[in-house]
Structure formats: structure tokens, C-alpha cells
């Protein structure tokens, strides 16, 4: 496919102004909704074929999230898109002021493989709702989901409006060489930097949804059994291949043994004695990631797990006992079913470890001590987080989702997705029935009056 030509066609299409019509956008989203509902079982099959994701997790973490974002966007589009009246400034008296939401124009969305359906469609819905044209590049590592994504998009949209361009790094690079009006990227920190550099060439605004090392702290006041259960769920869902999965555990020394016992119980309850035989436990997406993760297991002591099967890209849910901070597993984001446990005796040790890493995408604290929780939330900068659970802040569409520092730029979900893909244009309308002379030269004798007026603004 000639990418330059495709973008040119989208530019021409955007200039026709059709996507600025709210009813047109709504109808497109309703058509998309129908198609997504019709093809749900094909999407679930594709996800299974890509990395043995179970039907249950496919619905819970992919299709239901997309359909709920879509329904809310269709329901709320009129009110989100309406010009917002704000109070006028006294300095402009008489006047009125409004914020108009306008589409950026031609948007590029690059998505990752780990939630390949959800992370492609959730931003796409917002970009269309805001009136943009879109080129979506899904990940090449989940080819089945990429193919069904293309099929769905092609049956709903003309390619001048929304197109899927499949391919790997070379295609991504070619896309990034074009001049877009907005780029929305979800993926790793190193590729995020490549995207930011390419965008800077044309001063294109970006959203970067990246990753990082998200800590999970369990203090001695926590409900230990419940903490173990919720950590097992949040860490091992999707085979640990979740950007906001707890990356490493910091546990108070006095509760470590009790926690580990509960953790093992919860693992067995969830995936049986041998998780390799569980229909609910996915595989690592490819051999490259399997090898990367297997390397983290070398030289470590396991509290549970540590088993691998190269033929099937299987890594068992693993709890590593007290790794060194210089070890492979503590270097970068793990992004797999491996959880290092480090115990602490005092707050200084927590602070010392947290300070070694960049601002994380997520932050988890299990504690019933409200003072400690409040202090930690205030003190540390992170994308978002949950107290006494893991990952669930993601599902509340009233909360913005995104990183800070190395874990990302910008955010989305719910109305924030619509706002992300809209430029807010502030417009003042002046009244003609009065024209105060105070701002006009000559300024002689006006300073006193100006100071008095400024007190009121």
C-alpha cells in the first residue's frame, strides 16, 4: 500500500468537512457497534489463536471494554461536541466566550499486541467521535487480531475515512515519516521515544501510552489474604502481559511468610496444580519475549513457579524471592508472569527502591493505614493507581488513564478520549453596543482606572 497516497486521500476527505457533522460521526459509530457485536466470536477466536487468551478474559478485558466505551461515546457525543460556554472576561465587556471542539484532522494510531483489540479500538472510537480521519496500525505480533481488525474496519468505513495498515517496524517507520495532525501511540518506552522524535519533526501533538516498573506495596496492616488474591489476579491476568500489572512486590518482612502461603493457595485456586494445563492461563506472545523472560529466571530463587516450556512459549506464574536490584528481573519492565518479592522493614527501604526507577504507570498500596496511604499518594508521582487492589482503576471511564514522565504523555478513556482527539478552540464574541475606551491610546490618565479594573478581573 502506498502510505503517502493513502494519507493524501484522507487529507482530501477531511477537507470535505463531512466528519465535522455530528450525526455523521454518530452513524459511523453505530455501524461500528453493530459490526463489533456481530463479529465478537471472531475477535475472541483471533485472540485465542494469537496467544491462547481465554474466552472469558477476551470478553472481560477486550470486547466488553470496547463496547462500553463505544456505547458511552454514542450516548454522550452530542453533549461532548457541543460548544462550551464559559464566563467572559470583564476586560472584554461586553462579550461572550465559547470553547469549540474541533477535530485535529488526520490521526495516526499505533497499537501494541498485549490487549490487541481493546488498545486499537478504544482510541479509535474517540478519534472518530472527535471527527478525525484515522490510520490504525495494529501490532504485527498478534496477526489474527490484526486481520479481524482490518476486516471490521473495512466493512464499516471507506479507507479515506478510517484505514488499517498492517505491518511491522518498517511499515511503522514509513507511517511515522508522514505529516500527521495527531499521533496516538501505545507501546514500549524506547519506541515511544522514536515516535516522539518523528512527531517533533512536524510539531505533531502526541499521546504516548507507555510502560514502566509499577510497584506494589503491602504493609503490615493489610488484609493479607485478600491482598494475595487480588495481586494474583492482577499480575497473572493476560499471562502478566499487562502494562499496569504489578511489576514488583514490596512486602513488610513480618507478613512475608503468611503472604507467600496465601499467594500459593490463590494461584492453585485460580490455575490448578499445573497452570500449563489451565485453559485460563495464556502464553507469552512470541519466542523473543519468551527468551527475554526466561533470562530473568536464571540465577533466581523461586517461592513458587519458575517452570518454562519453550515449545509452547509457556512460563509458569512465578514468585521470585528477594532478587538483587541489579538482577535482570529488577532492571526493566518485566511484562510477563514473573513477580519479584522484596521485603522491607522500614519506610526508608521502600523509598530507596522506588527512587531507583522512573515514574511508574501504576502504583499499588495494600494497607488499612489511611495516613500511610495518603502520604504515599501525595509523595509519589505515577500514572494512576489503586489502593487495596490491582489494575482496577483502568476500568472506571470517569478516571483519566495515562502515564507521567517515562510512563507516558497524555491520557484517555471516556470523555478524555474525545478531548484528546479534539483541539479546544477558544472564541470570544464582542458586543457592538458599547466600546470602552480604556484600552485605547492615548493612555494618559488611564492607569489608575486600569489598576482598579484589573482588581476585578
174 contacts ligand NAD (rule: CB under 6 A)? no
416 contacts ligand NAD (rule: CB under 6 A)? no
333 contacts ligand NAD (rule: CB under 6 A)? yes
Q: Give the residue among 132, 154, 185, 186 at the shortest CA–CA distance from 32.
A: 154
Q: Number of residues in contact with ligand NAD, rule: CB under 6 A? A: 28
Scanning residues 224 to 243, which ones bind ligand NAD (CB under 6 A)? 243
DSSP strand pairing (206-209 vs 408-409): antiparallel
Cis check: omega of the bond before 442, within 30 degrees of 0: yes
Among 122, 124, 199, 361, binds ligand NAD (CB under 6 A): 361
Half-sphere exposure of 403 (CA within 13 A, CB side): 26
Is there a contact between 319 and 343 (Cβ–Cβ < 8 Å)? no
Half-sphere exposure of 14 (CA within 13 A, CB side): 23
* Catalytically annotated residue among 40, 69, 209, 333: 209
168 contacts ligand NAD (rule: CB under 6 A)? yes
DSSP string over 101-124 = EEE-SEEEEE--SSSTTHHHHHHH
Binding mask 130-159 for ligand NAD (x = CB under 6 A): -------x-xx-------------------
Is there a contact between 187 and 337 (Cβ–Cβ < 8 Å)? no
Neighbouring-strand partners of residue 363: 385
Cα of first residue to Cα of last residue in the chain, in angstroms, is 56
The one segment of 11-19, 54-62, 105-113, 439-447 that binds ligand NAD by CB under 6 A: 105-113
* Catalytically annotated residue among 28, 40, 57, 243: 243
The one segment of 40-48, 108-116, 221-229, 351-359 that binds ligand NAD by CB under 6 A: 108-116
Whether 243 is catalytic: yes
188 contacts ligand NAD (rule: CB under 6 A)? yes
Burial (CB count <10 Å: 0-12, 13-18, 19+), residue 346: exposed
Among 61, 106, 172, 178, binds ligand NAD (CB under 6 A): 172
Whether 154 is catalytic: no
Interface residues with ligand NAD (CB under 6 A)? 110-114, 119, 137, 139-140, 168-169, 172-173, 176, 186-188, 191, 194, 209-211, 243, 333, 335, 361, 403, 408
Residues belonging to the active site: 209, 243
Amino acid at each position: 500500500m502506498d502510505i503517502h497516497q493513502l494519507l493524501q486521500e484522507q487529507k482530501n476527505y477531511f477537507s470535505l468537512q463531512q466528519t465535522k457533522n455530528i450525526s455523521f460521526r454518530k452513524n459511523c459509530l453505530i455501524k461500528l457497534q453493530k459490526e463489533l457485536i456481530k463479529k465478537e466470536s471472531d475477535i475472541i477466536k483471533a485472540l485465542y489463536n494469537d496467544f491462547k487468551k481465554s474466552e472469558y478474559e477476551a470478553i472481560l478485558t477486550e470486547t466488553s471494554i470496547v463496547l462500553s466505551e463505544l456505547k458511552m461515546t454514542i450516548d454522550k457525543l452530542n453533549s461532548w461536541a457541543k460548544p462550551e460556554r464559559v464566563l467572559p472576561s470583564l476586560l472584554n465587556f461586553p462579550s461572550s466566550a465559547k470553547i469549540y471542539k474541533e477535530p485535529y484532522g488526520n490521526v495516526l494510531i499505533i497499537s501494541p499486541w498485549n490487549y490487541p483489540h481493546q488498545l486499537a479500538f478504544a482510541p479509535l472510537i474517540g478519534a472518530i467521535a472527535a471527527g478525525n480521519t484515522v490510520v490504525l496500525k495494529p501490532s504485527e505480533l498478534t496477526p489474527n487480531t490484526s486481520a479481524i481488525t482490518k476486516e471490521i474496519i473495512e466493512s464499516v468505513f471507506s479507507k479515506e475515512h478510517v484505514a488499517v495498515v498492517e505491518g511491522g517496524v518498517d511499515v511503522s517507520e514509513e507511517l511515522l515519516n508522514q505529516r500527521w495532525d495527531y499521533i496516538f501511540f501505545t507501546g514500549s518506552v524506547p519506541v515511544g521515544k522514536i515516535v516522539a522524535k518523528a512527531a517533533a519533526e512536524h510539531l505533531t501533538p502526541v499521546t504516548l501510552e507507555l510502560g514502566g516498573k509499577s510497584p506494589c506495596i503491602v504493609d503490615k496492616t493489610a488484609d493479607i489474604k485478600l491482598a494475595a488474591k487480588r495481586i494474583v489476579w492482577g499480575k497473572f491476568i493476560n499471562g502478566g502481559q499487562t502494562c499496569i500489572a504489578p511489576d514488583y512486590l514490596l512486602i513488610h518482612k513480618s507478613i512475608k511468610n503468611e503472604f507467600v502461603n496465601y499467594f500459593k493457595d490463590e494461584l492453585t485456586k485460580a490455575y490448578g496444580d499445573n497452570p500449563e494445563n489451565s485453559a485460563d492461563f495464556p502464553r507469552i506472545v512470541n519466542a523473543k519475549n519468551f527468551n527475554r523472560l526466561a533470562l530473568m529466571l536464571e540465577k533466581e530463587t523461586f517461592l513458587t513457579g519458575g517452570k518454562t516450556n519453550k515449545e509452547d512459549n509457556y512460563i509458569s506464574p512465578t514468585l521470585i524471592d528477594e532478587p538483587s536490584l541489579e538482577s535482570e528481573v529488577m532492571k526493566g519492565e518485566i511484562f510477563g508472569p514473573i513477580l519479584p518479592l522484596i521485603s522491607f522493614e522500614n519506610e526508608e527501604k521502600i523509598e530507596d527502591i522506588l527512587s531507583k526507577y522512573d515514574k511508574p504507570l501504576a502504583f499499588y498500596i495494600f494497607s488499612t493505614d489511611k495516613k500511610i496511604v495518603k502520604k504515599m499518594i501525595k509523595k509519589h508521582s505515577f500514572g494512576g493507581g489503586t489502593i487495596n487492589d490491582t489494575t482496577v482503576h483502568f476500568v472506571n471511564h470517569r478516571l483519566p488513564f495515562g502515564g507521567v514522565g517515562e510512563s507516558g504523555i497524555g491520557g484517555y478513556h471516556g470523555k478524555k478520549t474525545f478531548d484528546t482527539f479534539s483541539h479546544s478552540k477558544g472564541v470570544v464574541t464582542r458586543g457592538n453596543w458599547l466600546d470602552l475606551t480604556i484600552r485605547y491610546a492615548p493612555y494618559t490618565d488611564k492607569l489608575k482606572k486600569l489598576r482598579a479594573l484589573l482588581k476585578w478581573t
